[in-house]
């Protein structure tokens, strides 16, 4: 019985740490994909950057939760020397356990603007 307790004391925090890292990476990858999709959407002909914000929020709310989409900003930017759109998303991922600080994640998506023929 003592052996079981000694092993559990080590393995449970290790397992929870691995799950926390997996959660943070999943949220980061989902936010990055949504930001890129929002930037591409806003970069199409005759769409303002605000359309990219709405699309990004829609993608995040559908994949994760709307609370991760509270801080989404889009603006015109230069993408490798060409006019484009940049969408930035900042979100806080809560800790898995009952203690510890949240992890703040900031991701960006970029797209080159289309021009009308």
Q: Is the pLDDT at 17 greater than 90, yes or no?
A: no
User: Percent of the chain scored above 70 by pLDDT?
Assistant: 97
Q: Is the pLDDT at 34 greater than 80, yes or no?
A: yes
Residue 97: per-residue pLDDT: 61
Q: Tens digits of per-residue pLDDT, 42-76?
A: 999 989 999 999 999 999 999 999 999 999 999 99
Model pTM?
0.88
Calpha distance 117→110 (Å, rounded): 22
Residue 82: per-residue pLDDT: 94
Residue 25: per-residue pLDDT: 92
Q: Tens digits of per-residue pLDDT, 80-93?
A: 999 999 999 999 98
Q: Which long-range contacts (CB under 8 A, 24 or more apart) does 45-49 make?
A: 45/114, 45/115, 45/116, 46/116, 49/74, 49/75, 49/76, 49/85, 49/87
- Cβ atoms of 88 and 69 within 8 Å: the answer is no
């Amino acid at each position: 019985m003592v052996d079981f307790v000694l092993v559990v004391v080590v393995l449970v925090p290790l397992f929870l740490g691995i799950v926390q890292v997996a959660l943070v990476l999943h949220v980061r990858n989902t936010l990055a994909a949504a930001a890129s999709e929002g930037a591409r959407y806003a970069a199409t002909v005759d769409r303002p950057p605000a359309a990219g914000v709405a699309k990004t929020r829609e993608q995040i709310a559908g994949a994760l939760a709307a609370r991760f989409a509270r801080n989404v900003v889009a603006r015109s930017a230069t993408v490798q020397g060409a006019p484009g759109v940049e969408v930035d998303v900042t979100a806080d991922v809560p800790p898995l356990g009952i203690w510890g600080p949240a992890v703040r994640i900031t991701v960006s998506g970029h797209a080159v603007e289309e021009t009308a023929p």
